[in-house]
Chains A and B, each alone.
Chain A
């Protein structure tokens, strides 16, 4: 994992003091709430329905055991004993007092953590593949690049008041586990003619007007990447719309002028920016990469798993994935128990996961955009012990990528923007499909719920997506089918008129029944939908 040097630490420490000063000025009435808002947002502090919410950055979703313990500490001392992992691989604390926020940041800084740019109209936390450094299909490890991008984007003086928020994802494998093409900029690392570089996609996103990002540059070499991104951002900062908040994301600019014209403008800007000398030398990428060298794997680790405990075997089949190193496996801890809130973990659970990461996974944990936690490097021989410890902590739910593994935003239970509740709907659906055998029979099925048009619950990218809307004061839920955030990215289509809270649960069951009737061998729900189209589902839903 990356470790701060004195430069990194001094910048984060200075930020704590700056924010302490800003809060003091706000509490003293020296600045208005309107003036304070962009300052606190730039530091991940939102005013929600009931309290302040603090969103802490987990850069590219990577954490050490010590950092995870710190999150548990923050949950206990400053919140109500739990935290909520987000679809941006961050964690939110929902019950924060403004005057304590600077103290929380000071505590986080002691373990090289911060809340910088987890909100606001700036470049947000860089997201990445939760299996980085472990996945069998990896071309190159995206984390050093993500760290390079973190540093470049931190307090970038020109891009702090963009038209709208800006999200960047970077992946280094063929399988896209980070919804890369649904980001403002998606970066896919690859090698060409022996040189390391990246393919660049720009203008993806969800929200009110979802788009899958078009490719705008076939190949940018590693030593040109910062200049190229600087050019991408500058064109957006100058020409992105500012007259309407709903049309201010870069996807709208690209939709309006076209990907080719945007690419042309970027190319022109890049030719100029490249002369400024703002690209770090490759030695800097190498310096960062050294922190992400493979851990000291045991070359003699046995490559077999004792599956004699049937409950354990089910969990292995569902939540454990192949590792590039023989004898090791990737464990995903589902934060989606049937009765739970998707993405929530108690302080005690955070501590359990921290200890397991330290003891069994070379002190590494990851947060996934599907709101789960990963132990990336576990010896197969240790899987049973890990499972037992997880089971004792209520963390052994064996539903990864099944219908119970629901992504949901906080919704109207917490969020000031929401039109409808998400959590109770997620819980009702999870309850309807509580039988794990039934979930496994349905196979991979990504169900995603957003409580408003902003789409934090990624409903556009759900095999089954649900959007909560407010219809004349009553919560109503629109059903959509066929979305994907993976390498086969697509935007889900709405089935027809919406449903009430119980009706949407029935509707989900109805579409899964259509799938079971129509599927051919080896087809996932998404594959069947793509083959047979919307019609059979519509007929079953609406007659």
Chain B
């Protein structure tokens, strides 16, 4: 793993280690939690206010459950750090950003030139998601981009 996470946030990285979902639900004062692919992220929804970091584990890049977990958190109003950890590949950063991830701890270091090229490659998107990108159907019907 790389030393410090790749972040798209201005605040300082959250230092408290993340606890498992079970541990989090069994105690009241943790501010960082780690979600495994099989965990039901909705269990966090009553506690979003106390969370500063949710780390979503990707043990294998092919397992896409974490994308839905991220959107569910963002759609519920979570504004803290949302980190994708594990088998996260450079070509997945853009869709993960769209699902609401703003921090990445990839197991294998990501080449920054490749990443920067991919972040700016798509000027338009077709569908609304958890980011601020305005879908083209909105642009077509006169709504301004943000």
Query: Which residues of A pack against B, CB within 8 Å?
Result: 5, 7-8, 10-11, 14, 17-18, 21-22, 25, 30-31, 35, 38-39, 121, 151-152, 154-163, 226, 234, 237-238, 242, 272, 276-278, 280-281, 283-284, 287
Closest to A276 in B: B75
Q: A11-B124, A14-B122, A281-B137 are in contact. List 6 more A-B contacts (CB 8 A).
A: A10-B123, A11-B122, A35-B89, A160-B64, A238-B65, A283-B141
Tell whether, in the assembled complex, residue B122 and residue A155 are in contact, meaning their CB atoms are under 8 Å apart.
yes
Report how far A154 CA is from B98 CA in the complex, Å: 13
Contact of A161 among B64, B111, B128, B140 (CB under 8 A): B64
Which of chain B's residues 22-75 have a Cβ closer than 8 Å to chain A? Answer: 37, 61-65, 67-69, 71, 75
Q: List 17 A-B contacts (CB under 8 A).
A: A7-B139, A8-B136, A10-B123, A11-B122, A18-B118, A21-B117, A25-B114, A151-B136, A157-B98, A157-B99, A157-B129, A158-B64, A159-B67, A226-B127, A234-B68, A278-B127, A287-B140
* CB proximity of A165 to chain B, nearest CB, Å: 13
* CB proximity of B28 to chain A, nearest CB, Å: 27
Contact of A242 among B63, B68, B75, B126 (CB under 8 A): B63
Tell whether, in the assembled complex, residue A284 and residue B67 are in contact, meaning their CB atoms are under 8 Å apart.
no
Query: Which residues of B pack against A, CB within 8 Å?
Result: 37, 61-65, 67-69, 71, 75, 89, 91-92, 94-96, 98-99, 111, 114, 117-118, 121-129, 135-137, 139-141
Tell whether, in the assembled complex, residue B128 and residue A7 are in contact, meaning their CB atoms are under 8 Å apart.
no
Contact of B95 among A7, A155, A238, A277 (CB under 8 A): A155
* CB proximity of B95 to chain A, nearest CB, Å: 4
Residues from chain A with Cβ under 8 Å of B123 in the complex: 10, 14
Residues from chain B with Cβ under 8 Å of A234 in the complex: 68, 71
Closest to A36 in B: B91
Report how far A237 CA is from B65 CA in the complex, Å: 6
Residues from chain B with Cβ under 8 Å of A278 in the complex: 127-128, 135
Closest to A273 in B: B75
Given the known inter-chain contacts A30-B111, A151-B136, A281-B141, please indicate yes or no for A17 contacting B121, CB distance below 8 A: yes
Closest to B143 in A: A281
Residues from chain A with Cβ under 8 Å of B127 in the complex: 151-152, 156-157, 226, 278
Report how far A287 CA is from B126 CA in the complex, Å: 15
* CB proximity of B4 to chain A, nearest CB, Å: 23
Residues from chain B with Cβ under 8 Å of A21 in the complex: 114, 117-118
Residues from chain B with Cβ under 8 Å of A8 in the complex: 136
Given the known inter-chain contacts A7-B124, A237-B68, please indicate yes or no for A284 contacting B95, CB distance below 8 A: no
Most B Cβ at <10 Å: residue of A8, A30, A157, A237: A157
Q: Top 8 closest A-B pairs, CB basis?
A: A161-B64, A157-B98, A157-B95, A280-B137, A7-B136, A278-B128, A151-B126, A284-B137
Tell whether, in the assembled complex, residue A151 and residue B137 are in contact, meaning their CB atoms are under 8 Å apart.
yes
Contact of A10 among B64, B67, B94, B124 (CB under 8 A): B124
Report how far A116 CA is from B46 CA in the complex, Å: 39
Report how far A461 CA is from B136 CA in the complex, Å: 38
* CB proximity of A479 to chain B, nearest CB, Å: 36
* CB proximity of B102 to chain A, nearest CB, Å: 14
* CB proximity of A290 to chain B, nearest CB, Å: 12
* CB proximity of A29 to chain B, nearest CB, Å: 13
Residues from chain B with Cβ under 8 Å of A159 in the complex: 64, 67
Closest to B89 in A: A35
Residues from chain B with Cβ under 8 Å of A30 in the complex: 111, 114
Residues from chain B with Cβ under 8 Å of A272 in the complex: 75
Residues from chain A with Cβ under 8 Å of B140 in the complex: 5, 7, 284, 287
Report how far A490 CA is from B126 CA in the complex, Å: 36
Report how far A162 CA is from B71 CA in the complex, Å: 15
Residues from chain A with Cβ under 8 Å of B114 in the complex: 21, 25, 30
Given the known inter-chain contacts A18-B121, A237-B67, please indicate yes or no for A161 contacting B126, CB distance below 8 A: no
Closest to B95 in A: A157
Closest to B94 in A: A157
Closest to A160 in B: B95
* CB proximity of A270 to chain B, nearest CB, Å: 13
Tell whether, in the assembled complex, residue A276 and residue B128 are in contact, meaning their CB atoms are under 8 Å apart.
yes
Closest to A122 in B: B64
Residues from chain A with Cβ under 8 Å of B61 in the complex: 35, 38, 161
Given the known inter-chain contacts A22-B91, A151-B137, A157-B95, please indicate yes or no for A237 contacting B64, CB distance below 8 A: yes
Residues from chain A with Cβ under 8 Å of B111 in the complex: 30
Residues from chain B with Cβ under 8 Å of A276 in the complex: 75, 128
Residues from chain B with Cβ under 8 Å of A7 in the complex: 124, 136, 139-140
Closest to B58 in A: A161
Report how far A225 CA is from B68 CA in the complex, Å: 19
* CB proximity of B44 to chain A, nearest CB, Å: 14
Residues from chain B with Cβ under 8 Å of A154 in the complex: 126
Contact of B121 among A14, A38, A238 (CB under 8 A): A14
Report how far A21 CA is from B136 CA in the complex, Å: 25
* CB proximity of A533 to chain B, nearest CB, Å: 44
Most B Cβ at <10 Å: residue of A5, A158, A159, A242: A158
Residues from chain B with Cβ under 8 Å of A281 in the complex: 137, 141
Report how far A3 CA is from B59 CA in the complex, Å: 41
Contact of A121 among B62, B125, B139 (CB under 8 A): B62
Report how far A31 CA is from B89 CA in the complex, Å: 10
Tell whether, in the assembled complex, residue A158 and residue B68 are in contact, meaning their CB atoms are under 8 Å apart.
yes
* CB proximity of B3 to chain A, nearest CB, Å: 21
Contact of B67 among A38, A152, A161, A277 (CB under 8 A): A161
Most B Cβ at <10 Å: residue of A154, A160, A162, A284: A160
Tell whether, in the assembled complex, residue B122 and residue A39 are in contact, meaning their CB atoms are under 8 Å apart.
no
* CB proximity of A369 to chain B, nearest CB, Å: 25
Residues from chain B with Cβ under 8 Å of A161 in the complex: 61-64, 67, 92
Residues from chain B with Cβ under 8 Å of A238 in the complex: 65, 68-69
Report how far A401 CA is from B128 CA in the complex, Å: 42
Report how far A280 CA is from B67 CA in the complex, Å: 22
Report how far A283 CA is from B143 CA in the complex, Å: 13
* CB proximity of B51 to chain A, nearest CB, Å: 20
